Amino acid sequence: MKTLKFKLYKHKRNRYLKRTINAAGVIYNHCIALHRRYYRMWGKHLNCAKLQAHIAKLRKRNLFWQMVGSQAVQDICQRIEKAYQLFFKHHKQGVKPPGFKKVKKYKSFTLKQAGYKFLGGNRVKVGNRVYQYWNSREIEGTVKTLTIKRTALGELLMIVVVDDGTEPEIRSETGNIAGFDFGLKTFLTCSDGTQIESPQFFKQGLSAIQKACKLLSRKQKGSKRREQARKHLCRQYEKIANQRRDWFWKLAHELTDRFDVLCFETLNLKGMQRLWGRKISDLAFGEFIQILEWVARKKHKQVVFIDRWYPSSKTCSHCGHVLESLDLLVREWRCPSCQSVNGRDENAARNIQIVGASTIGLGDVRQAMPAISA
Ligand SMILES: [Zn+2]
């Protein structure tokens, strides 16, 4: 599977897509309201199939809703269902149920097999209108989904997921496997003890963003200058995002040169955000992972993810002992069972490596077992 991103040409016609996204946002909120009402009345979770059937019926009588293709509507229900399932499973860890979203800020809709058609060249038909996009690379393979997404600047992106039918073939050139732990101060800690610091421009970019934020907050609501300031802020965001992306590509190449198998924890962005505050979205771990997976596939390397609920920080990577709790501020701890001293991030990275290795059938499984069952 490959994810390709294209920018749509600016055109008056794009307003139909934007309106569709708005309609998707309205439907989303309606679904959330239904979920809550259903729970209040029956004390039960409204199941996805029931919701889909009900929404499909409502859609027939609502012209605005019909802007959103029937598959995209199903996708909205499924997204909500996924969010609820995550909530049921992990609410003890602080996962919240899905909530209402501002329609203006609602970002995208997704189509599966129907509702769009590629017309060749750079033209794509979505609904019953034809749009053009910057044809930056070929779309090869079967298209699985097509997502139209609106950015903060009001531009539209088309995101295409294709199945190119190639199973990644893993070559073992360096024979190296490594685990990585994401951090705030240190971007990545590797299980071999090396650390990759976040580059300085992250910070510089952040202060430019803060400045732009302040400017924006001083402008009167609804004024032209406020809109200008908002766009300025968006551009600052874009600038730092571009710099960051460059750095991500370089880093991804560096790491895949050094290692054959790279293990990570499945990202829990929402949880990290709560733990560390807003800053997390500025670090864009998720984007880095996407780039890394892309590069790894090209170079026949493997990226492995381990369960995000695995206590990688609290487990001793030497003996498998699991601590009751470990404060965020503790950078180093002594294992009560085997007395070895564990640096927080490095220990986590080593555990991620151990579990990653065992999930793909390399390495010592025994060491990781007690940690999983705990
Ligand atoms: Zn120990």
- pLDDT, tens only, 315-325: 999 898 999 88
Cα 164 to ligand 1 centroid, rounded to whole Å: 45
Strand partners for 2: 162
Q: What is the pLDDT of residue 371?
A: 31
Q: Is the pTM of this model over 0.85?
A: no
**What distance in Å separates the CA atoms of residue 302 and residue 211, rounded to the nearest whole number?**
41
In tens digits, the chain (374 residues) has pLDDT values of 778 889 999 999 999 999 999 999 999 999 999 999 999 999 999 999 999 999 999 999 999 999 998 889 999 999 999 999 888 887 776 778 999 999 988 999 999 888 899 998 899 999 889 999 998 888 888 899 999 999 888 899 999 998 877 655 555 555 688 999 988 778 899 998 899 988 877 778 878 888 888 988 899 888 999 999 999 998 988 888 888 889 999 999 999 999 989 999 877 666 666 666 555 556 678 888 889 988 998 888 889 888 777 888 899 998 989 998 888 788 899 999 999 999 999 999 999 998 888 877 765 433 333 333 22
Cα 180 to ligand 1 centroid, rounded to whole Å: 20
Measuring CA to CA, which residue among 298, 193, 210, 205 is closest to residue 246?
205
Cα 348 to ligand 1 centroid, rounded to whole Å: 13
Cα 315 to ligand 1 centroid, rounded to whole Å: 8
Q: What is the pLDDT of residue 372?
A: 30
Measuring CA to CA, which residue among 311, 294, 200, 213 is closest to residue 247?
200
Residues having C-beta closer than 5 Å to ion ligand 1: 316, 318-319, 321, 335, 337-338
Q: Which residues contact 372 (CB under 8 A, 6 or more apart)?
A: 310, 355
Torsion on CA atoms 293, 199, 137, 258, rounded to nearest 10: -40
Cα 217 to ligand 1 centroid, rounded to whole Å: 51
Cα 305 to ligand 1 centroid, rounded to whole Å: 24
Cα 215 to ligand 1 centroid, rounded to whole Å: 52
Count other Cβ atoms within 10 Å, centred on residue 59: 19
Cα 102 to ligand 1 centroid, rounded to whole Å: 48
Cα 92 to ligand 1 centroid, rounded to whole Å: 27
Cα 53 to ligand 1 centroid, rounded to whole Å: 53
Is residue 187 a contact partner of residue 176, using CB atoms and an 8 Å limit?
Answer: no
**Signed CA dihedral, 28, 33, 36, 38: sign only:** negative
Cα 182 to ligand 1 centroid, rounded to whole Å: 22
Cα 355 to ligand 1 centroid, rounded to whole Å: 16
Cα 341 to ligand 1 centroid, rounded to whole Å: 8
Cα 338 to ligand 1 centroid, rounded to whole Å: 4
Cα 366 to ligand 1 centroid, rounded to whole Å: 14
